[in-house]
Amino acid sequence: MPLTVTEIRNFKPGDKPYKRFDEKGLYLEVMPNGVKRWRFKYRRPGSGKENLSGFGRWRDKRQRLKSR
């Protein structure tokens, strides 16, 4: 089930980084310093090796408006 904005806002930093999965390999990684970033875990066709891609930080609209 997809993550909602409310769920993401409520994820609090812990002692270690942790992951909250969205769907089909996409997940949000919550770091101890409070940064939340999107990552995508997938396997390469042919070799079958697991790879990660990053899509940057999650910032909600209110945070983006404050930074302007």
The angle subtended at Cα 2 by Cα 7 and Cα 40, nearest 5°, is 100
> What was the pLDDT predicted at 63?
56
Give the C-alpha separation, 33 to 53, whole Å.
21
Query: How far from 31 is each of 44, 48, 58, 65, CA to CA, in Å?
Result: 26, 28, 12, 23
Q: What is the pLDDT of residue 49?
A: 94
Confidence check: pLDDT of 67 > 80? no
Q: pTM, whole model, 2 decimals?
A: 0.77
- Express each pLDDT in 4-61 by its tens digit: 989 999 999 999 999 999 988 999 999 999 999 999 999 999 899 999 999 888 876 5
Structural domain spans, the chain: 5-60
Strand, coil or helix: 16: coil
The topology (CATH level 3) of 5-60 is: Double Stranded RNA Binding Domain (3.30.160)
